[in-house]
A and B are shown apart, each in its own frame.
Chain A
Amino acid sequence: MLKITNITKTFNKNNGGKFQAISNMNLDVNESEFVCIVGESGCGKTTTLKLISGLEVPTEGKIVLEGNEINGPGPERGVVFQEYTLFPWRSVLENVTFGLEEKNIDKRKRTQTARKYLEMVGLADYADAYPYELSGGMQQRVAIIRALAVNPKILLMDEPFGALDTRTRDFLQNELIRIWATERKTILFVTHSISEAVFLADTVVVMKSRPGRIHDVIEIDGSRPRARTSKEFKDYCTIIHGMLENGLDRVHF
């Protein structure tokens, strides 16, 4: 459903030089697939997501979502960022209805949809609270359903749990799998945590830096929820870890 063809992204550096963030990248994502992109900092994984979201424009190549070439941001591609991005001047409910307002859906319908999603993530009691009254984990749950409420075709997530503590993170990973299972959304999830990728993904895309490129793509077998302590789980982690280690050897610190 999402097809990335030969994309290259070059940034101009302040000193007049150029920095190639992504070099000649190709990727296909299927309907309802959960894809995780892992890689060290600077491998271009966040840039990839920005390109798909339309917030950045590729230097070369094209990205096509269900036959339409991507040209700027749009509500059919929901984005959840690592930073807390809820609008602080809006209540939790008003945050979730934001995208629906932009779609000109009438007020009763919007509230109904927002409440349904708040119910789904167990935050129905917080509808009238303001983001600053919520913990980081709760804010990220609201950010996820804010993106889901507009019914996007694909959900793009950029290390959404990166700033959270391990327990909250594990909890939200389970939540996300549950949401994904009920909504059957296509998800593209960027992380630097190998275990997070193995826990969540159908497919793990391993990226390497200088220039940013896809190193390998690994299919993860095994039903969900996955046991983080199983041998199989650890084997996958070891394989991916090995791939990233090789990359690090060539980096001069």
Chain B
Amino acid sequence: MDKKRVLEKVFFNLLLPVLLASIWQMLAIHIDKPMVLPRLEAVGKVLAHPDTKILITGSLVENMGISLIRVLCGFFLAAAMAIPLGILMGYYRSAERIFASSVESLRPIPPLAWVPLILAWFGIKGLSDWFPALSSSVVFGGVQFSMIIIILIGVFFPILLNTIHGVKSIPKIYIESARTLGSRGFSLLLKVIIPASLPSIVTGLRIGMGIGWMCLVAAEMMPGSNAGLGYLIWYAYELLRTEIIVAGMIVIGFIGFIMDWGFRHVERKRFAWVGRMK
């Protein structure tokens, strides 16, 4: 890409955000009530000092770290369960018969509807109850089982459904030609079924990550929470510090954007063949 095209691209990408920010700033000055609409420079000030302690919670970076580690724990646990189950359900009709009705009736329940029950089961127990050494760690000390499970529930279904879909939509002819080349059993799974359904699995991971992130922030606003970006936003609301609320929201959006970009990058690089087979 030449320089002109790059500048053009940057210009169009920034056009709308800059416009919206300007309108915001004008409104904020006009209304002049920071409790209703904070000015940009107030939000900027929070974002510019991510390592200073905010209110009685930790710093922005610490809260970010806590939220991130919670999401990743739930995400990897969900993936570790949903991918094998999805492959099983996609490949074996009998496995699908056994699990499908349960999956279909649990799936419509919003992850947040599980919060009260899960709090009742796990309370605020966390990793530091198992590993006391972690309790001094700001980031790992905040990993509570209830949060992880809420995220796990949110992430699980999109990964499961996309894995099933991926395995089911493998052209039968790939499996047949692999079998005529002497492939079967575990080797067939590893060399044909998984790679053929991987694009769909990665799409599931990408959607799951987005949902997990949303569930987390909401879960952190629930009773029993004492850290994380969701908690920070909620706590700031109680003190009517809207500039902190907005700063927290921007950070959430930014992290979500970066993670989604990462997945799309993988899809572009690794699965160039998708949709291009004749």
User: Which A positions have Cβ atoms within 8 angstroms of B?
Assistant: 53-55, 72-75, 77-79, 81, 83-85, 87-90, 98-99, 101-103, 130-132, 136, 139, 143, 146-147, 150
Q: Are A130 and B182 in contact (CB under 8 A)?
A: no
- Cβ–Cβ < 8 Å partners of A103 in chain B: 182
- Cβ–Cβ < 8 Å partners of B174 in chain A: 85, 87
Q: Are B195 and A75 in contact (CB under 8 A)?
A: no
Nearest chain A residue, comparing its CB with the CB of B182: A75
Q: Are A131 and B277 in contact (CB under 8 A)?
A: yes
Minimal beta-carbon separation of B153 from chain A (angstroms): 31
For residue B258, CB closer than 8 A to chain A, the reply is no
Please tell me which one of the listed residues B179, B181, B274, B278 contacts residue A55 in the complex, with CB atoms under 8 A apart.
Answer: B179
- Cβ–Cβ < 8 Å partners of A130 in chain B: 272-273
Nearest chain A residue, comparing its CB with the CB of B188: A102
Q: Are A146 and B273 in contact (CB under 8 A)?
A: no
| Contacts A85-B174, A131-B277; A73 near B191 (Cβ below 8 A) | no
For residue B183, CB closer than 8 A to chain A, the reply is yes
Interface residues of B in 158-195 (CB under 8 A from A): 171, 173-174, 176-183, 187, 191-192, 195
Q: Are B181 and A132 in contact (CB under 8 A)?
A: no
Q: Are A102 and B195 in contact (CB under 8 A)?
A: no
A3 CA / B44 CA spacing, docked (Å) = 82
Nearest chain A residue, comparing its CB with the CB of B199: A89
For residue B276, CB closer than 8 A to chain A, the reply is yes
Q: Are A98 and B181 in contact (CB under 8 A)?
A: yes
| Contacts A81-B173, A87-B174, A87-B195; A73 near B180 (Cβ below 8 A) | yes
- Cβ–Cβ < 8 Å partners of A72 in chain B: 179
For residue B198, CB closer than 8 A to chain A, the reply is yes
Nearest chain B residue, comparing its CB with the CB of A83: B173
Nearest chain B residue, comparing its CB with the CB of A78: B180
For residue B196, CB closer than 8 A to chain A, the reply is yes
Q: Are A88 and B277 in contact (CB under 8 A)?
A: yes
Minimal beta-carbon separation of A122 from chain B (angstroms): 20
A90 CA / B171 CA spacing, docked (Å) = 16
Q: List 7 A-B contacts (CB under 8 A).
A: A54-B180, A90-B195, A98-B191, A102-B183, A103-B182, A131-B277, A132-B276
